[in-house]
Amino acid sequence: MSKRNWIIVGTAVPVLAFIALLAWASFKSGGNPGGLGVNDDFGQVAVEEELAWEFTLELLGGPMPSGPLPDESLSLSELRGKVVLLDFWASWCGPCQKEAPTLTQVYQEYSDQEVEFVGIDIWDGRLDALNHIERFGVLYPNGIDSDGTIAINYGVKGIPEKIFINPDGMVAKKFVGPISAQNLRAVLNELLGVVDGTSPSP
């Protein structure tokens, strides 16, 4: 084989390997292999308190108490006056699967409080998302951010990520990675103005 042919082969192999790697990453991440993926650094991160970005989310069907149909939608503005948790997730994300029972449990615990969780599924397929909701008995509203606009506007860099919005509609806290039930309750109580887990602050 001539030197020229060796150069062509030497160049083509890495390029083909890179293309194969991108194809595999795209398949594993629901079509979004770019520098975004599953978070591996967990915990609270600093955020600027600012008005939460308004959006309308087309809801998925599922076992929610209100039984929303797939063509129903939810606007963030409808939830003003409540503490809102935006949970960014995907069905193929291991940490998202691991924390799903915790989110459902705590959501039920706060069902009589001015609290709402909204699941925002990204980089995923509709059927996979519905299967996840059914598998883990998710009770709060969920929808797919099909074009990624919501995730982009909230600066999501990986999943799972959680944005907490206070009753005034301001972004209050952000957590990356799964959150424990204890930490989740603590944040909700703080934003609700609950003192010692029992009574509202004056």
The domain segmentation of the chain, as residue ranges, is: 1-34, 37-200
Question: What's the confidence (pLDDT) of residue 72?
Answer: 87
Please say whether the structural domain 37-200 has been given the CATH code 3.40.30.10: yes
Distance, CA of 171 to CA of 187 (rounded, Å)? 13
Q: And the tokens for 194?
A: 């609950």
Can you give the length of the chain in residues? 202
CB 102 within 8 A of CB 181: yes
> What digits encode the pLDDT tens for the residues 146-189?
899 999 999 999 999 999 999 999 999 999 999 999 999 999 99
Query: How far apart (Å, rounded) are the C-alpha atoms in residues 30 and 10?
Result: 31
Q: Give residue 64's region: left, alpha or beta (phi > 0; psi -120 to 50).
A: beta
What's the pLDDT band for 33 if we cut at 50, 70, 90? very low
Q: Record the pTM.
A: 0.74
Could you read off the pLDDT of 115-154 as tens digits, one per residue?
Answer: 999 999 999 999 999 999 999 999 999 999 989 999 999 9
Give the whole-angstrom CA distance, residue 170 versus residue 148. Answer: 21
